[in-house]
Amino acid sequence: MKTVLINPPQNTKYPQPPLGLASIAAVLERENYQAEILDANALPLSESEIAKEIGNVDITGITAMTPFINSAIKVAKEIKKEKPGSTVIVGGAHVTVLPEETLSNVPEIDIIVRGEGEETVVELYNALKSGISLQNVRGITYRDNGRVISTPMRPPIADLDSLPFPAYHLLPLHRALYILQPYRLLPRAYIDPSI
């Protein structure tokens, strides 16, 4: 299954590398799935140009942070218009918080990955490849016969060292000035018990 992971246009002067997509791509590569990253900010590309740029793909994955959700939705709509047979998967903070609302309002999105996606995408891809039901894939929201279904949330990854190094080789580092963040944002608070 050929996959293109997309960082949608954000209209920012200083784009940040899509480290989440690079991490997802690395996990897919480790499992022998073919993955590419298209960073619309580094290249730069509009939503409609993205759909024409990606070629023949089986799956497109789009990251969706709240400030850029409208751009991510436009990308999903353009991809479904150009490639109606492809599966559109969206992940990120916005859809993690509002999965049912997003899927109900955007029929072009097929599956939402909630929370940390590295373990979820492996389970999801294996289910899609074998044609089995998605009901046992933790951390997703999808449609089944018109109904929106959310599976139980997957717990956070306890050992980040178990993840492969992000697939930087798939990023257009030669085309953009990236500001790197040397940390990983986690969807939970840290409380220092010594205070």
CB contact set of 98 (below 8 Å; sequence gap of 6+): none
CA dihedral 163, 164, 168, 171 (to 10 degrees): -70
**How does pLDDT run along the chain (195 residues), one tens digit per residue?**
889 999 999 877 777 788 899 999 999 999 999 999 999 988 888 888 998 888 889 999 999 999 999 999 999 999 999 999 999 999 999 999 999 999 999 999 999 999 999 999 999 999 999 999 999 999 999 999 989 999 999 999 888 888 899 999 998 876 555 555 555 555 544 444 444
CA dist 162 → 26, 30, 135, 143 (Å): 12, 12, 25, 31
Neighbours of 136 (CB within 10 A): 10
pTM score, whole prediction:
0.87
**Class of domain 2-153+164-175 (CATH, top level):** alpha beta
Domain boundaries, the chain: 2-153+164-175
Q: What size, in residues, is the chain?
A: 195
3 state SS of 17? coil
